[in-house]
Amino acid sequence: MQKRTLLQAAAAVALLGASGLGLAQDNVFKIGLVLPMTGQQATTGRQIEAAARLWMAQNGDTVAGKKVQLIVKDDTSLPDQTRRLAQELVVNEKVNVLAGMGITPSALAVAPIATQSKTPLVVMAAATSSITEASPYIVRTSFTLPQVSVAMADWSPKNGIKSVVTLVTDYGPGLDAEKYFSERFLFNGGKVLEKLRVPLRNPDFAPFLQKVRDLKPDALFVFVPSGAGAAVMKQFGERGMDKAGIRLIGTGDVTDDDQLNDMGDVALGVVTSHHYSAFHPSPANKKFVADFMKANKNLRPNFMAMGGYDGMRVIYEALKKTGGKGGGDALVAAMKGQIFESPRGPVFIDAQTRDIVQNVYLRKVEKKDGQLYNVEFDVIKDVKDPGKSKQ
């Protein structure tokens, strides 16, 4: 049996050789997925790869008569690596689509390659507002920090929070969160006592949190990238900040579903605003979470997985619509304006900006069946990225 299969394979290779490699290539549709699979942002890569594979397991790997091939590369979240790998994928592998992009510097490093090679770049994680303006070939399925930060600044003053200190990671998404939260909070009559920024690489939150304790704001507003939330929460608890009457608020990156359940009781009651919670009570999400956990040893999907899953859908739909004809330009055109029911809720790819329009939810960490979840209690519908320069 084994022997026969091998013989058949050899025959198939010979046939391919005879019919020319071009034909074989034409029947393959390659997605180059560049992600941080190791290093500080490894959980982002693990979540997105798992979600992309789940999408393919559920929807098959043949679309419009083409065999979809996923090529995963680990950039260790270093933008020079992301650029080098994307270049190789375009030049050597001749990928039809580039995707992934765990952090903003990676997405910005690859944008010129997408433009020059006319390859669609589906950004599944990185969330600085300006990214989609870096190339007309970029389409985003994650979110933007301005999009999710404003809701928190509207909720806080109505709920007893009159003064805040902001604490953000010192790069694109953190600066977006700081700006859009603070401006709206000031507009709503609140006071920002201090704006603190921590480095992206190996952050030590202790000295910053000490400072927050001394300043005694009603709340600390936090943005840290996925994977760093548990460290913030731990130190917040250890320093007795909650007991000192300082509340923790932020974008949902800090109560990341990937880590939330291990954060302990200090996380209880923390209110955040975000576009996705694993606890979102729709049938589509219940199925997504159950299938994801089943395929991944009970790992709970987070918002990164959501961006990867919907990113694959956007690519599949574009391939279906174009039949793979017309190259990158046709694919991007077919990605624009897509509208569908995602496990996170209804979403829309804005044709003008190529950015995602989606619901933003206010959520509070609660214990449900012995597990910690971000439980949604309010929604702002169909939120566009407020960070885009005027078109």
Give the residues lining the site for ligand DHB (CB under 6 A).
Answer: 44, 103-104, 125-128, 172-173, 225-226, 253
Q: Could you tell me the smallest distance in angstroms from the CB atom of residue 228 to ligand DHB?
A: 8
Give whichever of 96 and 272 is closer to ligand DHB, judged by the CB atom: 272
Give whichever of 30 and 179 is closer to ligand DHB, judged by the CB atom: 179
Residues 6+ apart with CB under 8 A from 147: 129, 275, 358, 360, 383, 384, 385, 386, 387
Give whichever of 44 and 156 is closer to ligand DHB, judged by the CB atom: 44
Q: Could you tell me the smallest distance in angstroms from the CB atom of residue 276 to ligand DHB?
A: 11
Q: Which DSSP letter does residue 67 get? A: E
Looking at beta carbons, which residue is closest to ligand DHB? 225
- State the residue for tokens 């589906």: 122
Q: Could you tell me the smallest distance in angstroms from the CB atom of residue 44 to ligand DHB?
A: 6
From CA 105, how far away is CA 83, in angstroms rounded? 10
Q: Could you tell me the smallest distance in angstroms from the CB atom of residue 135 to ligand DHB?
A: 16
Give whichever of 96 and 342 is closer to ligand DHB, judged by the CB atom: 342
From CA 184, how far away is CA 181, in angstroms rounded? 6
Helix ranges (DSSP H) in 323-365: 327-335
Q: Could you tell me the smallest distance in angstroms from the CB atom of residue 43 to ligand DHB?
A: 9
Q: Could you tell me the smallest distance in angstroms from the CB atom of residue 212 to ligand DHB?
A: 21
Give whichever of 103 and 347 is closer to ligand DHB, judged by the CB atom: 103
Q: Residue 20, exposed/middle/buried by CB under 10 A (0-12, 13-18, 19+)? A: exposed
Q: 304: closest CA among 271, 296, 150, 268?
A: 296
Give whichever of 29 and 303 is closer to ligand DHB, judged by the CB atom: 303
Q: 223: closest CA among 254, 256, 269, 267?
A: 254
Q: Could you tell me the smallest distance in angstroms from the CB atom of residue 130 to ligand DHB?
A: 10
Q: Could you tell me the smallest distance in angstroms from the CB atom of residue 253 to ligand DHB?
A: 4
Q: Residue 390, exposed/middle/buried by CB under 10 A (0-12, 13-18, 19+)? A: exposed
Helix ranges (DSSP H) in 74-133: 79-91, 104-117
What angle is formed at CA 32 by the lines to CA 389 and CA 88, rounded to 5 degrees? 100
DSSP-derived 3-state class of residue 365: strand
Q: 87: closest CA among 47, 67, 66, 115?
A: 115
Q: Could you tell me the smallest distance in angstroms from the CB atom of residue 197 to ligand DHB?
A: 14
Give whichever of 32 and 225 is closer to ligand DHB, judged by the CB atom: 225
Give whichever of 75 and 253 is closer to ligand DHB, judged by the CB atom: 253
Give whichever of 203 and 225 is closer to ligand DHB, judged by the CB atom: 225
From CA 241, how far away is CA 247, in angstroms rounded? 8
Q: Which DSSP letter does residue 390 get? A: P
Q: 227: closest CA among 77, 73, 106?
A: 77
From CA 250, how far away is CA 273, in angstroms rounded? 7
